[in-house]
Structure 1
């Protein structure tokens, strides 16, 4: 009887060519004086880029960074992580901020030009050409020019920054020795999904199977946007932000494109705040249009979500409340549930709507001692509510945000989504918003409204988004 041929499995990573070239050249030149594993190096780089896209959600993107706790690294890579991450840091492939000493260390990538300059310098010093650099035996590398499908960009090949669109597709053979760090996250998600309540289990399986993106169009859109931002950039810092924003987006898109086969699709429980984190919650809003089938879907978003959910906490403070507090809470309730809270702050502060959002972030989520001048107008208008917010942040300023996120998760995941799945409607979720098929819009709205009526006592403003 013929022996059954073993089926080989691979993990695919996508990383900027300039960074990988720099790493491979230093390995080729013998800079690493320990028994290293090349796949650990590229996996750590992928950790930094992919986690950065989550932490840079507000798209400020001056640096691509990632907080990588030593416990996370040890659990994923074993004791080998120390030598590997020290090598990357000491050889100018990544850097870490010593300000975070005794806390989770933040690791950063450098500006792209620095990788290229050092690469060319080392080739010259050692009198070798790039073709001489050996690719490690354990993976194959394919070069990709992400600007090839981009339209309406003139003289692309003459632009210095076109090198930013050159990426490597790195295909790594999964073995018994490396599967822990190449597939562990995906396997952990599988365990969570399989052991989750019935409605979350169905949502997880549905997401893994059905969440897809038109990667070619999404990357073309992001690349066009990148070159437009480069043209508008008035400083090196703005150029760096444009590149890091682009890199972050490409990483998000490629992870979705890889899906189950590349073990890069994720659906996991955030144990801190109870949220469900997915590739979709990490996707920039203007890339949603490229979700496969999005033209037949509707996006339903709770307007002023976090300010609205704060009302659930405030309801408890109404019990035995004095008249001045009652008046503040009732006024706050009206503005937030009508979806005009930021407009109200805009009037209070005589500022723009975008700035009013930033002001709320400072009021609600910063340390009590921070931004005191910015908080003064709100404190004068809502002294009792300000005091309540400050009390929740007294021990740790993140406690208030986490409390609101837990309320959000309870309402959206445990209440709304549970009722939807019972009706055989399985949504995609984005924390305080849902994506469902257009044919399910009316029943989804009814369920959302009934849950809010029950928990808030009023139906708040729910915003709809369609893409034709």
Structure 2
């Protein structure tokens, strides 16, 4: 953990000096920041309210303090102090005869107050060794070197985050997780705004961006996807990323995976001895390649489901005044995520949505079942691999051969404005090479 934080309105250094004096503060201050940061990180990346932290690990890391014969475990002092300073709550519970577990949470008022970066660092002897970064070859190595040159416009990004929080900037709805909804957390999925939680998460990423605290990894042999800074930060912050001091343009391939799946369906047909392309496969391909967004794949599939009078999660809304959920019928991009989850990713092929889909697209549905056999995750992995092989292995390779630096984010590429036309042409060529027609959306960052 290279970055340490403290709450904006609680000064650990002053409180420690007041209670313990200079020597204790100098020796143990970093441990207070460390435990708070550890808990902060858990709260930013989990919907859980309470977070388990190993007392054994804290005991071994923080050690003891006090005169010989009257030593105390430092982690116990820390959590008692943080509790008395109204920073955290914690409790312990018996797991079995020999084991207890400790759970922690940051107080709501501390979440609302935010946090800031401190100059203190974890002493080198206590910091876990950082593994040497993997150096990739070929096109992955070229992308890795380009990614190292990314910088963030820190001042502009911070101003945006502060303003978004002050104005309660509206955010897109997210697919519902029913285990979270059952706890009453509708605000995590509907009527979303930049609240204290989102604000804290964005700040966390901004601090990491400023320190270059992101690695580079290629999921070789599995999905072949590239993971690095641009794939890990919130999408709202990508517009503040600079390459060579200049902003980038996003080129997004629309419905890339469904379009690529067309060729998997055709391969399935050949395997089954089907020589003439079935009508539903032709219709699927036409919808994937449709240039009019209102007539393209997902709106068409949505109309299909609405016509069958299905109750869709993407239709659910929540009224914060009455605290009641209600339904609408209009299409939103939430349907895309719901469709993929229930048709391509779900292991249950007997759902209502799957039944309606199979009636309209029998061959495509049969191919989905075929490619998910053995393990329902196989299809998702295969589609991600096809996408990565085309976007990175083909398009990026051709662009870097022309000295055009492009950075992939799955089905999108980020490039300088003067290269947009060339990149669009290369994407079209790559899809044409496999008898498909790609359509794209271009967004100035």
TM-score by length of 2: 0.66
1:170 aligns with 2:126: no
Tell me the CA shift for residue 302 of structure 1.
Answer: 0.5
1:410 aligns with 2:354: no
For residue 176 of structure 2, what is the aligned residue in structure 1? none
Match for residue 348 of structure 1 among 304, 324, 330: 304
1:255 aligns with 2:223: no
Question: What secondary structure sits across from 1:180 in the alignment?
Answer: coil
Match for residue 223 of structure 2 among 256, 264, 273: 273
1:463 aligns with 2:407: no
Tell me the CA shift for residue 335 of structure 1.
Answer: 0.8
Q: Check conservation: 2:371, 2:379, Cα contact below 8 A.
A: yes
Question: What secondary structure sits across from 1:292 in the alignment?
Answer: strand
Tell me the CA shift for residue 301 of structure 1.
Answer: 0.8
Q: 1:78 to 1:20 in 2, by over 3 A?
A: same
Q: Which consecutive unaligned segments of at least 5 residues does structure 2 have?
A: 25-29, 63-72, 94-101, 172-183, 307-329
Q: Check conservation: 1:325, 1:385, Cα contact below 8 A.
A: no
- Mapped to 2, the partners of 1:304 and 1:252 lie a distance apart of 28
1:430 aligns with 2:409: yes
Question: What secondary structure sits across from 2:152 in the alignment?
Answer: coil
Tell me the CA shift for residue 417 of structure 1.
Answer: 1.3
Q: 1:277 to 1:299 in 2, by over 3 A?
A: same
For residue 153 of structure 2, what is the aligned residue in structure 1? 214
- For 1:158-184, what per-residue CA distance to the aligned partner results, in whole angstroms no more than 9, with x for missing partners? xxxxx7353121334465423435xx2
Tell me the CA shift for residue 392 of structure 1.
Answer: 3.3
Structure 1 stretch displaced more, 442-451 or 220-229 = 220-229
Q: 1:173 to 1:244 in 2, by over 3 A?
A: closer
Q: Check conservation: 1:14, 1:251, Cα contact below 8 A.
A: no
For residue 38 of structure 2, what is the aligned residue in structure 1? 44
- Mapped to 2, the partners of 1:67 and 1:314 lie a distance apart of 46
Q: Check conservation: 2:4, 2:34, Cα contact below 8 A.
A: no
Q: Check conservation: 2:345, 2:379, Cα contact below 8 A.
A: no
- For 1:197-226, what per-residue CA distance to the aligned partner results, in whole angstroms no more than 9, with x for missing partners? 2322222122112x1222232233233323
Structure with bigger helix share is 1
Question: What secondary structure sits across from 2:250 in the alignment?
Answer: strand
Q: 1:296 to 1:175 in 2, by over 3 A?
A: closer
- For 1:304-348, what per-residue CA distance to the aligned partner results, in whole angstroms no more than 9, with x for missing partners? 122222223223113155379722222111111235211211221
For residue 269 of structure 2, what is the aligned residue in structure 1? 318
1:289 aligns with 2:239: yes
Q: Check conservation: 2:50, 2:103, Cα contact below 8 A.
A: yes
Q: 1:12 to 1:399 in 2, by over 3 A?
A: same
- For 1:441-468, what per-residue CA distance to the aligned partner results, in whole angstroms no more than 9, with x for missing partners? 22222222222112x312310211124x
Q: 1:165 to 1:355 in 2, by over 3 A?
A: same
Q: Check conservation: 2:218, 2:227, Cα contact below 8 A.
A: yes
For residue 260 of structure 2, what is the aligned residue in structure 1? 309
- Mapped to 2, the partners of 1:172 and 1:359 lie a distance apart of 44
- Mapped to 2, the partners of 1:346 and 1:273 lie a distance apart of 28
- For 1:49-72, what per-residue CA distance to the aligned partner results, in whole angstroms no more than 9, with x for missing partners? 67x2xx8xxxxxx5589999x9xx
- Tell me the C-alpha RMSD between the 2 structures: 4.6
Q: 1:48 to 1:269 in 2, by over 3 A?
A: farther
Q: Check conservation: 2:39, 2:51, Cα contact below 8 A.
A: no
- Mapped to 2, the partners of 1:430 and 1:333 lie a distance apart of 24
- Mapped to 1, the partners of 2:259 and 2:225 lie a distance apart of 17
Tell me the CA shift for residue 48 of structure 1.
Answer: 2.9
For residue 224 of structure 1, what is the aligned residue in structure 2? 163
Alignment of 1:75-154 (within 5 A): 110=105, 112-113=107-108, 116=110
- Mapped to 2, the partners of 1:464 and 1:231 lie a distance apart of 22
- Mapped to 1, the partners of 2:170 and 2:250 lie a distance apart of 32
Q: Check conservation: 1:63, 1:108, Cα contact below 8 A.
A: no
- Mapped to 1, the partners of 2:52 and 2:439 lie a distance apart of 36
Alignment of 1:365-380 (within 5 A): 365-369=344-348, 372-380=351-359
Q: Which consecutive unaligned segments of at least 5 residues does structure 1 have?
A: 1-9, 31-35, 56-61, 99-106, 117-162
- Mapped to 1, the partners of 2:411 and 2:334 lie a distance apart of 21
Alignment of 1:24-43 (within 5 A): 41=35
Question: What secondary structure sits across from 1:238 in the alignment?
Answer: helix
- For 1:127-160, what per-residue CA distance to the aligned partner results, in whole angstroms no more than 9, with x for missing partners? xxxxxxxxxxxxxxxxxxxxxxxxxxxxxxxxxx
Q: 1:383 to 1:237 in 2, by over 3 A?
A: closer
Q: Check conservation: 2:39, 2:105, Cα contact below 8 A.
A: no
